Amino acid sequence: MITRAFAMIAGMTGAVGLSQFPEYSQQYTQRLGGAVDELSAVVAQFDRDAAGVGLDRGEALRQLATGGEFGAARAESMRQTIARQQRLAGDLAALDGAGPFMRARLAGHLGDPDIAARAWQAFRPALPVSFEGVTYAAAGFGAGWLALALVAGLARRMLRRRPRVVRG
């Protein structure tokens, strides 16, 4: 009886938690799009500045890096900005147009810590009433129930006393 109650609690916890994924992943994707737009603008301006003096991006970064301590630091931060823009643009391309079920499959593209932190900070859990939210809630309930039932079953087997055989 107690095991069933705990399994029900675990199931409900899973349902509540997983039902929030569709909305959170949508908010993350929107923030990802904004970050890609801003980083793309910074990179495009750098490329225009470089082209304005007859340089490509690589040569502009090399020249900037030889411009003293500040230039070297600025060249490195620009390299990091370019790399982040490319990585996030790839994530956005993978997620673009993906529905909530496909976003779960592509969850590896939801991993930028800065964007995730800002999306989580603005996220407000809500009772899901969409088909996707209810489906995720059902899956979460099943996963929570099953996980606790498996752990309880293993614990029962381990704790079950075996009759002692007295040999005489």
pLDDT exceeds cutoff 90 at 54: yes
The stretch 11-40 carries a mean pLDDT of 89
Please name which of 158, 99, 117, 93 lies closest in space to residue 31, comparing C-alpha atoms: 117
Q: What is the mean pLDDT of the chain?
A: 88
pLDDT of residue 164: 67
Instruction: Give the DSSP H/E element, type plus range, for residue 17.
Output: helix 2-18
Torsion of CA 57, 60, 62, 67, to 10 degrees: -150
DSSP H helices, 19-164, are 21-52, 57-65, 68-95, 100-105, 113-122, 131-159
For the stretch 113-140, pLDDT in tens is 999 999 999 888 877 767 887 888 788 8
Per the structure block, which two tokens stand in for 79? 């390299």
